[in-house]
Structure 1
C-alpha cells in the first residue's frame, strides 16, 4: 500500500538517489537549484510516497523571496522538484504529491515553480501571468516560470533564496 509521509522521515541519501534517477546527476546546474541555494526544504510542505521500504516519489517546497525593483519584498514558496521513480511514472503519484503540498500550503505565501504550463495550469491553477518581468539567478524558459496564489507580485524584480525563513514557511 502506498503511503504519504513527511519527507523528513526519509533519509536524505534516499531522496538524492530518487532525484538522480528522475532528473539525472547533472540536475544541480539547473536554475531551480540556484533559487534554493543555502535554504532547507520546508518540512510541513514536503512529502514522500513510500510502499513498504521503497521510496516511490517526493515533493519538496522551499522558501524563496521576490525582491521587487520598487523595494518591496514578498516571501514565496518554490515547489519542486516533484520526483517519481521512472518505473512508476504515469500512475498519478506526482499528482498526489502535488495535491498534498498545495493543501498544506493553503493560507501561506504565494507559490511558484518552474514546470510545464499546460499541466500545472490545467490541474493546479498555476500560470505565468505575473512572472514575465521576474529575473532569476540563471536561465529559464519564461513560459515555464509559473505562480499561483493571492498577492503574487506582478512587477519587475528578482526571485531568489529566502535564507532567513522559519521552518514553517
Structure 2
C-alpha cells in the first residue's frame, strides 16, 4: 500500500537520488529548472509516495511568475517534476500524485492558475491541461510549445516571460494565501 506524505518529511538526498534516476543527472539544465529558479517548492502541494518504507515517487509544485509585457507580475503554480522510480513507471503512481496535488491546490484555492511542461495527451486527457493560453509565454530556455500546458480560470492568455516567483509572490504561497 502506498502512503502519501509531505515531501518535506523525506530526506532531501533520497529525493535528489530519485530525481536523478527518473530524469538523469543532467536534469538541472532543463528549462523547467530555470523557470522555477532557486526558490522552495510549495510545501502543502509537494508530496512523496512511500511504499514499504521506500520512496517510490514525488511531485513538487513551485510558485512562479508570468511577467507580462504590460508590466504585471502574475502568480502561477508550476507542477513538476513528477518523478516515479523507473521500475514503477506505468503503475499509475504519477497519476495518483497529480490527483493528490490537484486536490490540495483546489482545497487551498491555488488551482486557478497552474502550469506544467509535459505530454499534452496525458495531462490533457486526465487532468484538463492544454496549451490554448500559453502561446504568448516565453521561457528562459528551449521548449516544445505544445508541451507548455496550463489550466485554471486565472490562467492568462497574454504575452510574457515565465520565471521564478518574485519575493512577495513566493511569500504568498509560503503563507498559504
Give the TM-score, by structure 1 length. 0.97
1:25 matched to 2:25? yes
- Unmatched 5+ residue regions in structure 1? none
State the partner residue of 2:114: 111
Structure 1 segments of 4+ aligned residues over 6 angstroms from their partners: none
Residues 131, 146 of structure 1: 8 Å contact kept: yes
Per-residue deviation, 1:151? 1.6
- Residue 98 of structure 1 aligns to a residue whose secondary structure is helix
Question: Structure 1: how far apart are the matches of 2:19 and 2:166?
Answer: 23
What's 1:147 paired with?
Answer: 150
Q: What does residue 84 of structure 1 align with?
A: 84
**Which aligned pairs between 1:36-51 and structure 2 lie closer than 5 A?**
36-51=36-51
* C-alpha deviation, 1:72, in angstroms: 1.9
Which structure is higher in helix share?
2
How far apart are 1:52 and its partner, in Å? 2.3
Aligned residue in 2 for 1:15: 15
Partner Cα distance (1:52, 1:82) in 2: 20
Corresponding residue pairs, total: 169
Aligned Cα root-mean-square deviation (Å): 1.0
1:138 matches 2:138: no
Please show how residues 151-162 of structure 1 align to structure 2 within 5 Å: 151-162=154-165
